[in-house]
């Protein structure tokens, strides 16, 4: 008897017993590769509830995860302003002129190598710095930030004088001043995590479609901090900052003094935390940096807290901004996202040829998401940082997915990082997975709701220390975890090997549950409809979906957000009816 099994050709079988043994071995081997469904999520989210230990991460990223960034049509070239891109001429002044003269446009860097020796600051919404591709456009930045603008910091935790650029700042800055406007109403009654209703004192400035920022501010007894740490915060003796928590919501119903919002509350609401609703009013939005390389000199890296500021880019106080298709060479640190919301980092790659002073480490922080509902995906860390991925003060609802490193260090940096997700990652060796920084006395490394989901490692990993997170505050699913049952404590542990866990990417599964499959989320209207604004003017466009306070309409192959408030009552009703129909599909 002859046969082919798994690419191997078998000769004549001597006995049926031997044949059965081979068959059994093959079947047994295949069965061990079958997927296993998460008990916390199920196949399509049927086991999940808003109050589940699994937070809702479906709103992370640009436009709450509903769209990809779209660049403006208007564009200029830096060469039109005198830039040479020859790799030796200082092009800084020409580039600054292009930025100043072109708010809200694409500022294009043609093929070339552009020397930049000053900060590039983007302060006008809609402005995009765009290259011809990472292999074609390079921004050379030979001067460290602390030489351009010294910012010395006397670190009480170290005898070494350092700079603020050790953990912040970027040569390119997308710089807003926040996304919360004036107070619209005070929350008048308590609510629970997972609720979708809020009682307010005043609804006069609130209506269906209003986007608001729920803001909670801790009291002197630090009961809000105790809540996000689930009563197990650890040592807070050196934490000076007052903790605050924010969440952007959209009002979908107003009934009396009660609002219904579009997403579950991330935390309890207590009237002792001065809960208010503020107008969602981004001061900078829809800006990006894409399709280029940022290169620093290959000077030796001297070690922790010695950084002079070879940092590529920061997004600060902004909304719906992005970094896309960037290669970063020889940095001290990578992108810092601080005080921002709904930003996406996609396709970031790091490489370095710098000599290291300590343990082959070549930089400080890799990618830092210290904002709310931000998304970092498809990253490759081809060098070794002290902290490859960082969440810290102000980090809430962020997602890292589809990334890889040789030995990934996921840094929960104390100060109460709350409900952040690390999903479908290749962590390489796996010896640094829990390696986290932050000074002692500033709480445990992670607050509750830190989710580690489907993370591949070459080596087995052990449970993090008791100081890493509150007992019961972690979700660990799809990890190569070597532990005894009594070592897991109250944490939510699903003993499924990485690669077998279903769904493999929690963020994408949650996004699909909320928006429908990609084809639905992209819009499937078969015909163009008439849309009329409040001035009586009409256009023809295909309906895509309702997105917060906007309706997304497709015209000439582009998805255009149109404020619902700008439409006639009939068009608003048409949008809401179509959205209800889409949600039922």
- For residue range 398-444, list pLDDT tens digits in order: 999 999 999 999 999 999 999 999 999 999 999 999 999 999 999 99
Q: Tell me the mean pLDDT in the region 510-532.
A: 69
Please say if the pLDDT value at position 395 is more than 90.
Answer: yes
Q: What is the pLDDT of residue 54?
A: 97
Asked if 350 contacts 367 with a C-beta cutoff of 8 angstroms, the reply is no
pLDDT at 390: 98
Can you tell me the mean pLDDT for 368-383?
98
Q: For position 357, what pLDDT does the model report?
A: 81
Q: Are 104 and 125 in contact, with CB atoms under 8 Å apart?
A: yes
Q: What is the rounded distance in angstroms from the CA atom of residue 266 to the CA atom of residue 86?
A: 50
Q: Provide Rg for the chain, Cα atoms.
A: 26
The pair of three-digit structure tokens given for residue 220, joined into one six-digit string: 């002197």
**What are the pLDDT digits (tens) for 67-85?**
899 899 999 999 999 999 9
Numbers of helices and strands, H then E, in the chain: 7, 40
Q: How far apart are alpha carbons 466 and 451 in whole angstroms?
A: 16
Average pLDDT (360-389) is: 98
Helix (H), strand (E) at residue 571: helix 569-584
pLDDT value for 574: 82
Other C-beta atoms closer than 10 Å to the C-beta of 544 total 24
Q: Assign 565 a pLDDT band (cuts: 50, 70, 90).
A: confident
Q: In degrees, to the nearest 5, what angle opens at C-alpha 79 toward C-alphas 76 and 82?
A: 120
pLDDT at 157: 62
User: 275: which 2 tokens?
Assistant: 């809960």
pLDDT per position as a tens digit, 278-336: 999 999 999 999 999 999 999 999 999 899 999 999 999 999 999 999 999 999 999 99
pTM score: 0.85
Q: Please determine, for residue 522, whether its predicted confidence score (pLDDT) is greater than 80.
A: no
CATH code of the domain occupying 516-584: 2.30.30.700
Bond into 503 cis (ω within 30): yes
Q: What is the pLDDT at residue 353? A: 97
Q: Give percent of the chain above pLDDT 90.
A: 76
Average pLDDT over residues 148-161: 78
> For 457-467, what is each residue's pLDDT tens digit?
999 999 999 99
Classify each residue of 218-230 as buried b or exposed e, where b means 16 or more C-beta atoms within 10 Å of its C-beta. Answer: beeebebbbbbbb
DSSP for 98-132, written as a single string: HHHH-TTSEEEE-SEEEE--S-EEE-STT-EEEES
Residue 129 tokens, joined: 């710095």
Q: What is the pLDDT of residue 552?
A: 84
pLDDT, tens only, 464-507: 999 999 999 999 999 999 887 777 889 999 999 999 999 999 99
Between 162 and 199, the more confident residue is 199
Express each pLDDT in 255-273 by its tens digit: 999 999 999 999 999 999 9
3 pLDDT band, cuts 50/70/90, is: very low
CB 36 within 8 A of CB 501: yes
Residues 167-195, buried b or exposed e (16+ Cβ, 10 A)?
Answer: bbbbbbbbbbebbbeeebbebeeebebbb
The structural domains of the chain, with segments of one domain joined by +, span 3-34, 62-176+284-396, 180-280, 516-584
pLDDT at residue 262, as a whole number: 95
Residue 22 has pLDDT above 70, yes or no: no
- Band of pLDDT at residue 358, cut at 50, 70 and 90: confident
Could you please state the CATH topology (level 3) that the domain comprising 180-280 is classified under.
Answer: Elongation Factor Tu (Ef-tu); domain 3 (2.40.30)
Average pLDDT along the chain: 90
d(CA 351, CA 135): 13
Q: 310-347: buried (b, 16+ CB within 10 Å) or exposed (e) per residue? A: bbbbbbbbbbbbbbbbbbbbbbbbbbbbbbbbbbbbbb
Give pLDDT, residue 533.
Answer: 87
The count of other CB atoms within 10 Å of the CB of residue 65 is 23
Determine the 3-state secondary structure of 570 from DSSP.
helix
| Top CATH class, 62-176+284-396 | mainly beta
Residue 558's DSSP bridge partners are: 555
pLDDT bucket at 585, cuts 50 / 70 / 90 = low
Q: How confident is the model at residue 159 (pLDDT cuts 50, 70, 90)?
A: low
Confidence of residue 547 (pLDDT cuts 50, 70, 90): confident
**Per-residue pLDDT, 81:** 98
DSSP assignments along 369-432, one per residue: EEEES-EEES-EEES-EEEEEEE-TT-BS-EEES-EESB--EEE-SS--BS-EEEEEE-BT-SS
SS3 559: strand
- Which sign does the torsion angle of CA 143, 145, 146, 148 carry? positive
Q: What is the pLDDT of residues 203-218, one digit of tens each?
A: 999 999 999 999 999 9
What are the structure tokens assigned to 112, written together?
């070339």
Calculated CA dihedral for residues 284, 286, 292, 294, nearest 10 degrees: 20
Sign of CA dihedral 556, 110, 377, 116: negative
Q: Is 61 exposed, middle or buried (0-12, 13-18, 19+ CB in 10 A)?
A: buried
Would you give the end-to-end CA distance of the chain in angstroms? 52
Question: Mean pLDDT, to the nearest integer, of 229-237?
Answer: 96
- Per-residue pLDDT band for 518 (boundaries 50, 70, 90) equals low
pLDDT of 240 above 80: yes
């Amino acid at each position: 008897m002859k046969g082919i099994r798994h690419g191997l050709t078998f000769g004549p079988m001597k006995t049926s017993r031997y044949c059965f043994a081979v068959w059994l071995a093959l079947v047994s081997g295949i069965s061990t590769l079958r997927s296993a469904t998460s008990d916390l999520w199920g196949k399509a989210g049927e086991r999940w509830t808003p109050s589940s230990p699994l937070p809702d991460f479906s709103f992370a990223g640009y436009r709450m995860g509903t769209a990809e960034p779209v660049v403006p049509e208007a564009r200029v070239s830096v060469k039109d302003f005198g830039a040479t891109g020859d790799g030796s001429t200082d092009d800084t002044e020409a580039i600054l002129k292009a930025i100043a003269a072109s708010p809200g446009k694409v500022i294009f860097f043609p093929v070339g190598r552009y020397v930049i020796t000053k900060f590039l600051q983007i302060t006008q919404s809609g402005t995009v710095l765009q290259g011809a591709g990472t292999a074609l456009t390079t921004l050379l930045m030979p001067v460290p930030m602390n030489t351009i603008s010294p910012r010395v910091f006397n670190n009480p935790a170290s005898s070494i004088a350092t700079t603020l650029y050790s953990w912040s700042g970027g040569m390119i800055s997308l710089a807003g001043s926040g996304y919360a406007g004036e107070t619209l109403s005070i929350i008048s009654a308590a609510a629970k995590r997972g609720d979708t209703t809020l009682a307010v004192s005043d609804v006069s400035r609130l209506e269906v479609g209003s986007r608001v920022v729920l803001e909670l501010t801790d009291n002197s007894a630090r009961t809000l901090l105790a809540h996000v740490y689930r009563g197990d915060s650890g040592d807070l003796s050196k934490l000076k900052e007052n903790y605050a928590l924010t969440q952007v919501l959209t009002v979908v119903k107003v009934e009396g003094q009660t609002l219904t919002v579009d997403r579950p509350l991330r935390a309890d609401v207590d009237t002792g935390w001065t809960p208010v609703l503020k107008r969602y009013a981004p001061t900078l939005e829809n800006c990006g940096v894409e399709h280029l390389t940022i290169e620093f000199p290959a000077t030796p890296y001297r070690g922790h807290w010695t950084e002079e500021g070879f940092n590529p880019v920061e997004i600060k106080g902004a909304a719906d901004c992005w970094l896309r298709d960037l290669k970063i060479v020889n940095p001290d640190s990578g992108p810092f996202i601080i005080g921002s919301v709904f930003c996406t980092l996609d396709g970031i790659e790091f490489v370095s040829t710098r000599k290291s002073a300590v343990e082959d480490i070549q930089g400080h922080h890799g990618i830092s998401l210290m904002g709310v509902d931000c998304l970092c995906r498809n990253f490759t860390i081809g060098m070794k940082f002290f902290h490859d991925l960082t969440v810290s003060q102000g980090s809430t609802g962020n997602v890292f997915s589809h990334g890889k490193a040789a030995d990934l260090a996921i840094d929960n940096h104390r100060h109460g990082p709350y409900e952040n997700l690390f999903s479908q990652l290749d962590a390489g060796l796996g010896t640094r997975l829990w390696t986290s920084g932050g000074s002692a006395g500033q709480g445990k490394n992670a607050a509750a709701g830190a989710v580690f989901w489907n993370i591949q490692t070459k080596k087995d990993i052990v449970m993090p220390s008791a100081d890493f997170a509150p007992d019961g505050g972690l979700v660990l699913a799809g990890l190569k975890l070597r532990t005894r049952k009594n070592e897991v404590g109250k944490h939510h542990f699903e003993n499924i090997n990485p690669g077998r866990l279903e769904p493999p990417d929690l963020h994408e599964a949650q996004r699909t549950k909320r928006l429908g499959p990609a084809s639905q989320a992209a819009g499937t209207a078969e015909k163009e409809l008439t849309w009329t604004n409040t001035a009586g003017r009409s256009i023809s466009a295909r309906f895509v979906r309702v997105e917060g306070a906007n309706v997304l309409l497709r015209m000439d192959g582009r998805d255009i957000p149109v404020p619902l408030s700008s439409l006639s009552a009939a068009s608003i009703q048409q949008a809401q009816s179509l959205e209800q129909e889409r949600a039922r599909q």
